[in-house]
Amino acid sequence: QVQLTSMYGRYTEELGAYAKEEAARLREAGVRRHSVTKRARSLELLENDKGRCAKCRICTVRCQKFLISCVGEDWIFLILLGLSMALLSWLVDIGIGICLQSQKWMYVKLESNVFLQYLAWVTYPVVLITFSAGFTQILSPQAIGSGIPEIKTILRGVVLKEYLTFKTFVAKVIGLTCALGSGMPLGKESPFVHIAGLGAALLCKFMSLFGGIYERSCLPYEGHANESRNIELLSVACAVGVSCVFAAPIGGLLFSIEAMSTFFTVRNYWRGFFAATVTAFMYRILAVWNRDEVTITALMPTNFRQDFPFDLQELPAFAVLGIASGLGGALFVCLNRQIVQLIRNQKTIKKFLMKKRLLYPALVTLLVSTLTFPPGFGQFMAAKLTQMESLETLLDNETWSKQGIPEEFDNNSLSQAWKHPQVNVFVTLTLFVVMKFWMSALAMTMPVPCGAFMPVFVIGAAFGRLVGEGMAACFPDGVHSDGTIYPIEPGVYAAVGAAALSGAVTHTVSTAVVVFELTGQISHILPVMIAVILANAVAQSLQPSLYDSLIMIKKLPYLPELGWGHHEKYNICVEDIMIRDVMYITLNCCYRDLHDVLLAGHLKTLSMILLGSIERVQLQALLSLQLGRSRRLKYLRDRATAEKSVVSHPSSKDGSTMGNQEVHFQVNKVKIAEWEENQLDEQVNFDNCMIDPAPIQLVERTSLHKTHTIFSLLGLDHAYVTSIGRLIGVVSLKELQKAIEGSVAVKGVNVRPPLASFRDSGASGTIMNNENKARDLHKLWNLLSSCCSSNLPLHPSLLYPSSQLAFGPYTYSALMEEGWTHPALSPTRTEEIWVLGRGEEGWVKVPLLNKGGQNKMYRICMV
Amino acid sequence: QVQLTSMYGRYTEELGAYAKEEAARLREAGVRRHSVTKRARSLELLENDKGRCAKCRICTVRCQKFLISCVGEDWIFLILLGLSMALLSWLVDIGIGICLQSQKWMYVKLESNVFLQYLAWVTYPVVLITFSAGFTQILSPQAIGSGIPEIKTILRGVVLKEYLTFKTFVAKVIGLTCALGSGMPLGKESPFVHIAGLGAALLCKFMSLFGGIYERSCLPYEGHANESRNIELLSVACAVGVSCVFAAPIGGLLFSIEAMSTFFTVRNYWRGFFAATVTAFMYRILAVWNRDEVTITALMPTNFRQDFPFDLQELPAFAVLGIASGLGGALFVCLNRQIVQLIRNQKTIKKFLMKKRLLYPALVTLLVSTLTFPPGFGQFMAAKLTQMESLETLLDNETWSKQGIPEEFDNNSLSQAWKHPQVNVFVTLTLFVVMKFWMSALAMTMPVPCGAFMPVFVIGAAFGRLVGEGMAACFPDGVHSDGTIYPIEPGVYAAVGAAALSGAVTHTVSTAVVVFELTGQISHILPVMIAVILANAVAQSLQPSLYDSLIMIKKLPYLPELGWGHHEKYNICVEDIMIRDVMYITLNCCYRDLHDVLLAGHLKTLSMILLGSIERVQLQALLSLQLGRSRRLKYLRDRATAEKSVVSHPSSKDGSTMGNQEVHFQVNKVKIAEWEENQLDEQVNFDNCMIDPAPIQLVERTSLHKTHTIFSLLGLDHAYVTSIGRLIGVVSLKELQKAIEGSVAVKGVNVRPPLASFRDSGASGTIMNNENKARDLHKLWNLLSSCCSSNLPLHPSLLYPSSQLAFGPYTYSALMEEGWTHPALSPTRTEEIWVLGRGEEGWVKVPLLNKGGQNKMYRICMV
């Protein structure tokens, strides 16, 4: 260790020369962390010191070391994450509760004057929502929306770093509390998944201060392992996020797996289970400490009959409920996307809203809260109740419609809100379902942190209750044919409806488990599962899931799922979908080839016998090293000294120095061009280049099914197709996506999933057409080529290290007109900007040419 | 299509010559199934026919086509599988019930004479177990044991075809019914996982008769896709298997994922959920139809208090129960392995048992049933109750020990069996736990189809009950400090104990969900989950899971799990563990190189710049084509005609024909050797060879973590390590296994999981030491080399296409002495046999030299 320490000492001192030598030694000596060695060194120094309090200090250092090794353990991390997220969830709950209470308080206090009452009822949520939207917009626009689509994309392997920052965390938590405190039909669940993900990322960073595995490692390949670990922790965080909203550890874990992963590591299951249990436990025990509860029970305990949970003859009703929920779920996803599309496509609306950013949420809130004003229309839809209260009443095991007599309600119970002196319970429920349905779909489009799970869950419960009350009215003595009377319990239908509708919207079946854990009863397991499965089957054949729909709207890079049972997928091979004209360089190529490849565009591989793939930046570095400033200067200096030695001999100390210099300058210019040409013709030295020698290779006959599996398993972006080592093509996410969506014609046969045509007609105009995309791309390409040929400046910072296109120049106002937004974009600025990869993936970076000539990369996002 | 049809016609007629041409055309024309085209052809013929009932026939053919396309759908398959497995499970239940009833009946009828009673009580199970063992042994030895280890291995990617045959199915079902009917402490759950897997495989085969995707495809690469589909269906079948035993769809699915997969495809989750629900529904509805139940409820419904399920102050007791269960689970796994090891290692015992195969199960049964004889020792451990009955009584929500007065029991209830006039309930429960513990571990080693889940579950419940009764005795008024009295419910402890112990033995946390579904109550979710997590943490740090232990005992090829939180794993790179001296051939090598490589041994790759990997059989085929009989004959014939034409001219019709022929023969022999040498020096023509052009490649610095992930994701057997295209090493499962188990010293630092040393000391002598293995391997290698050098016959059939060793000759009796068994092995046979790969993986093939000189490959297995 002494030797090692001194080695490290030298390492930092004489970095340049010893770097290579050290790398080899490092490999042999195993990987030791800098900090550890530093600490070891300080310990040694202390031991050599032998001062008065040296022993004391040694002891503390040792303790510190032990603690740090403990902190490195996974389970400590998981417990910390679970506890902090549960606490946060509880605090957010309290914040929301206070907001909602004060609205109610105002409403009650102003009962004397209906107009003032209305004003208070409406202004309060408008202010909260506007604050939430403004605060989020200013602090971190990434905090807007649900968060699950982004987390899903990150888990897919795409790095979206700006989504996991401290700013986003603060914006999301405060924005969410305000948005939910307004009483709008918004959910807490999906934002909390994002918050838990943020929490995990920040906790990782925080714990890296103490060293251990959290520290960034120094070896280049190590980064990958760390990354995969981070992704594993992130997927655990998702389970924590769901778990601390519903206090449903198992359901939370399963929901997070289903909604967010394509492949799941079973070794991660244990972690998720552990963290979710800690979270749920902490979340519920906080309620006990707060004297809200006597002991730990379910969040929303029900009291359904256990010995005879349901009659077999009720099953058709449950099945119908499931199918209807499936249709409803598909409709919800479609409606939400149509609203977004409408606002985006209407140029006048868009322009107006672009100027007044906070107007849209304020208007939506105004509309929704006006309609739910309790003395007004709200009296017909139990608008007095908060979301949780209505869910509680819907799961009640009393039958509301026995004889239609409202006196049967307990006067103190919340269920009273559903009764109305004039209208029937059925009308109230129907109105509630219909109104909340479009309100939720609309509210979700507001630029505040919000989710849709909870509103959909409540709507499903109301719909289930409606069906249940209907059944109870039709069969007042139950449907059982034997002597014993088992009356129908509409509360069970509500639970089934909630699971089915939320399952249909999110395309998950785990909502069934969430319902069991939420209600604390599992005896009605079979109706719930049958309804959920039917709802999923219907919804999946009609529409993508809400999260996939949001991914498409936000144009995040994604890989669609392979449908089940489409066996045509097994017959498409990768050679049918790959791109055949791959740009490549060979090991013995010269710098001119490098130059040409870099100018021409997008791809990067080596040699026809595929030796490896190399990143674009690496090539740029090579080229700039060869033609760079230092070598250029050196050449000039050498040249100058050589000439001087020639010149200085014949004529010395002449008056013609000035003229000489001018000539020199011109000669140099010519000579530099000549030198450049020579340099370009030299063979490339790849020795110090980082070549990835084993990029993923496929064979021509690899089936689409297998390709999809490999891509999703390894989180690939692209893969090379080889035939006995010879490179013959390349496949990227885009090609795969096209093939799965069915737009690839395999030798004349257009392979499409069976129900795709139906889905397309519903989604036409919403999902960008692939053919159009390709045409756009082609246009851009031509634009770029003309740029290159006309010697327009192709700024080096634009050469983005992935296979994306660069084009420009753009004006700020043109960009904003297209619907892109970023704090850095304002119509007053005049500089030209360059856009990267726009149109191809909808994934964009803008370098801003500031006054100092520096560039900054920004991600801009569509409104 | 007409053209296509005729093409296929030609294809079958002139197979040899047109094969290559056809392959190219097939690729262009897309993959169409033979049968479909055939049917299309017949349809066409019919249409041309225009006979009387032609229309009728056309109609039927069309209907048939439609039905077939339906049959191809996944959901039809899943419903069929679910229904048939539920029916089978129900029938097996009935069979077991009849067996158990008749034993009870005999016992009751013979009450007058204790000796006769004992005889009947003991003989009946002995006969049943002996029949089960004998029947299974004769019909299919693969049906012996649990089945989960084999299914796990198959899901890992290793093909064990003999485990999925119809014979095994019949043997397993009948053997299981008899074994469980004997009343021994055996389980139904793991064998049913195997049975469901068998069912899925057979259903696949059966449905392939109707065409569709089930049909074997003709393209070489298609096989892979089909294989991955089969594996996906198999993993669904596991969920079905668990689901139809406990009627627990969610728990079944989760348990099957956790116990059997390393990575789980989320798209398969839906399928599993669907199939498991169908199964559970069918299984429970059969009970309703059979008038056992009024409606569908949980299998073993409990009636625990719901409003106040448990007090927070009871949590420490649950935690202690969990930790104790963890220790117990580890002990159970260890005990079971020690018993197997003891029998295997004791030469005298082994020899004796080898001769009398059925004696061992009979002896074990005799011992167990003697000890459980109700009037004897059985009275102290409720031996009158069957497994399910004791579980039912243990989950009872009455407290048994209130004042220790036995009168409190309801006289009609089954719980009466636990009371004893002289001894306390605590003694009864303790005796039950201790006795059943070793009995179950012992009974599991019998060669009958059996599982351990159910016995362990019951033992756990009894242990939990014991703790619960203790708590109830200590705190008769409950532990709550407030005014209200909530007495402690020992039944909850029983449920917690059952989940914890079964979770500890199988290393799963999903047993918690199984308990919820089994009891129909989820209100006690937190204590169950805490106990299960603690039990898992303890058990996982002490012992492998029961299934992994069985995998080790059976020496199946496996890949151990990466522990959690062992961050040293991130620092090991593949270059630390790979084999560096890889055998390779180049594209321009000659046949002699091929010959040498084949003789030398085990590996197969091409060229230093890795172009692809080629299977050993392919090389053999190439070599035999070059040196084969037909070419040899042709050469001789050519030679002969050439010589004849030379010879026939000078002297015709001489008397020296006989002598001439002899000379010819000798000349030919010499010449053939010469010809062979020439042939070997020719360059190899790889055109018709199936080279896999894209074997999985890793880089030197790929971390162990990543390597493990890639291996488990893609189910790899081996991977090549390359550096800029150059092949520098190879890593197989074995190396990876070693590295994970910690026996690889990375540059002087021995990297071991933290608790491995503790685990090793417990497992010493049980798991074959890797160093010893390597030494054995070396010895075998030397033996083989000497065989080769001394020109001993190295039979071509021994060149097995995987990287395994061949050695011999062996005698039958020697093999049997070593503990190998197969119907084909008998001590009376005298031929020499050759064994493949023995000692390396414990995975063995024996070619038998029959009288006709033919060889057969058999898998022999250790008893």
d(CA B441, CA B339): 8
pLDDT for the residue A830 = 57
DSSP E strands in B156-252: the ranges are: none
Question: Is the bond into B375 cis (omega within 30 degrees of 0)?
Answer: no
Give the C-alpha separation, A622 to A634, whole Å: 17
Q: pLDDT higher for B556 or B394?
A: B394
Among candidates B284, B308, B565 on the partner chain, residue whose Cβ is nearest the Cβ of A73: B565
pLDDT at residue B801 in the model: 29
Cross-chain CB nearest to A297 (options B270, B523, B702): B523
Start-end of H helices in B628-656 = 629-648
Please write the tens of the pLDDT for every residue from B241-259: 989 888 899 999 999 888 8
pLDDT recorded at residue A637: 78
Using alpha carbons, list the distances in angstroms from residue B737 to A532, B77, B577, B742, B777: 42, 37, 10, 9, 16
Distance CA A103, CA A571 (A): 60
Mean pLDDT is lowest, of A269-278, A569-578, B254-263, B702-711, for A569-578
Tell me the nearest-neighbour CA distance from B589 into chain A, angstroms.
16
Tens digits of per-residue pLDDT, A744-755? Answer: 433 333 333 333
Helix (H) or strand (E) holding A821: strand A820-821
Bridge partners (DSSP) of residue A390 are: none
Confidence of residue A133 (pLDDT cuts 50, 70, 90): very high
Chain A residues lying within 8 Å of B482, measured CB to CB: 294
Instruction: Report the residue of B258, B267, B530 to disrupt the A interface, i.e. the one with the largest count of A CBs within 10 Å.
Output: B267
> Would you call A265 helix, strand, or coil by DSSP?
strand
The chain A residue lying nearest B614, using CA atoms, is A724
Least confident of A732-736, B737-741, B815-819: B815-819
Chain B: residue nearest A565 by CA? B74
Q: Which range, of A594-598, A746-750, B72-76, averages the lowest pLDDT?
A: A746-750
Contact check, Cβ <8 Å, A257/B274? no
Residue A94: pLDDT above 70?
yes
The torsion defined by the Cα of B49, B50, B51 and B55, in degrees rounded to 10, comes to 110
Contact B215, B208 (CB under 8 A): yes
Question: Would you give the distance in Å from CA B114 to the centre of its chain?
Answer: 44
Nearest CA in chain B to A513: B250
Query: A19-28, A98-107, B749-758: lowest mean pLDDT where?
Result: B749-758
Q: Which of B261, B517, B725 sits opposite A525 (nearest CB)?
A: B517
Contact assignment for A691 to B296 by CB distance below 8 Å: no
Q: Which of A225, A254, A698 sits opposite B705 (nearest CB)?
A: A225
pLDDT at B524: 87
**Exposure b/e, A516-530, CB count within 10 A at least 16 = b:** bbbbbbbbbbbbbbb
Least CA distance to B697: which residue of chain A? A694
Grade residue B534 by pLDDT with cuts at 50, 70 and 90: very high
Dist. CA B347–CA B131, nearest whole Å: 26
B-interface mutation test, from A274, A515, A522, most B Cβ less than 10 A away: A522
Please tell me the total number of residues recorded for chain A in this structure.
863
Q: Mind listing the pLDDT tens digit for each residue in B713-763? A: 666 677 777 666 666 777 777 777 777 665 444 333 333 333 332 333 333
Q: Select from A270, A311, A509 the Cβ nearest to the Cβ of B564.
A: A270
> Six-digit token pair at B5?
């049809």
Q: What is the DSSP string of A633-673?
A: HHHHHHHHHHHHHHHHTTS-S-STHHHHHHHHHHHHHHHHH
Task: List, as one string, the DSSP characters of A504-565.
Answer: HHHT-STHHHHHHHHHTB-TTHHHHHHHHHHHHHHHHHHS--HHHHHHHHHT----PPPPSS
Q: How far apart are CA A647 and CA A1, in angstroms?
A: 59
Best mutation site among B1, B3, B238, B250 for testing chain A: the one with the most A CBs within 10 Å? Answer: B250
Helices (H), A247-314: 249-260, 266-289
For residue A689, what pLDDT band results from cuts at 50, 70 and 90? low
Residues in chain A within 8 Å Cβ distance of B536: 270
pLDDT score at A135? 93
pLDDT per residue as tens digits for the range A806-826? 344 456 666 665 555 555 556
Instruction: Tell me what pLDDT residue B612 has.
Output: 61
Q: Over range A146-157, report the average pLDDT.
A: 84
**Contact yes or no for A207/A77 (Cβ under 8 A):** yes
Q: How far is A533 from chain B (nearest CA, A)?
A: 7
Distance (Å, whole) CA A427 – CA A406: 14
Whether B266 and A261 have beta carbons less than 8 Å apart is answered as yes
Mean pLDDT lowest among A58-62, A116-120, A201-205, B736-740:
B736-740
Beta bridge partners of A730: A579, A720
Q: What is the pLDDT of residue B613?
A: 63
> How far is C-alpha B310 from the chain's CA centre?
41
The answer, yes or no, to whether residue B797 has pLDDT greater than 50, is no
- B296/A850: higher pLDDT: B296
* pLDDT value at residue B335: 95
Provide the token pair at B336.
């079971």
Determine, for residues A277 and B530 on separate chains, whether the beta-carbon distance falls below 8 Å.
Answer: yes
CA-to-CA distance for A88 and A84, rounded, in angstroms?
6
Q: Model pTM?
A: 0.72
Can you say how many angstroms the Cα of residue A267 is from the centroid of all Cα atoms in its chain?
A: 23
Whole-angstrom Cα distance, residue A144 to residue B490?
A: 50
Which residue, B516, B517, B486, is CA-closest to B309? B486
DSSP E strands: which ranges in B56-153? none
> In the prediction, which pLDDT does A222 show?
36
Peptide linkage before A809 cis (omega within 30 of 0): yes
Contact B822, B858 (CB under 8 A): yes
* 8 Å CB contact of A609 and B612: no
> What b-and-e string marks burial along B291-305, b requiring 16 or more CB atoms within 10 Å of the CB?
eeebbbbbbbbbbbb
- What pLDDT does B83 receive? 94
pLDDT digits 0-9 by tens, A307-329 = 788 888 889 999 999 999 999 99
Contact B713 A285 (CB under 8 A): no
The sign of the torsion formed by the CA atoms of A705, A709, A715, A718 equals: negative
Does A859 score more than 60 pLDDT?
no
pLDDT at B582 over 50: yes
Model confidence pLDDT, tens digit, residues A456-479: 999 999 999 999 999 988 888 777
Question: Average of pLDDT values for A697-702?
Answer: 69
Which of A198-202, A800-804, B740-744, B806-810 is least confident? A800-804
Q: What's phi and psi for B579, nearest 5 deg?
A: -90, 130
Residues of chain B with C-beta less than 8 angstroms from the C-beta of A688: none
Q: Which of B267, B536, B703 sits opposite A564 (nearest CB)?
A: B267
- Average pLDDT, integer, range A205-229: 52
What pLDDT band is residue B3 in, cutting at 50, 70 and 90? Answer: very low
- Tell me the helices (H) and strands (E) count for chain A, helix number first: 32, 14
Mean local confidence (pLDDT), A799-805 = 31
Tell me the percentage of chain B whose pLDDT exceeds 70: 58
- What residue spans of B682-796 are helical by DSSP H? 704-714, 733-741, 756-763, 770-789
- Work out the average pLDDT over B811-834: 57
Angle formed at CA A650 by CA A648 and CA A653, multiple of 5 degrees: 55
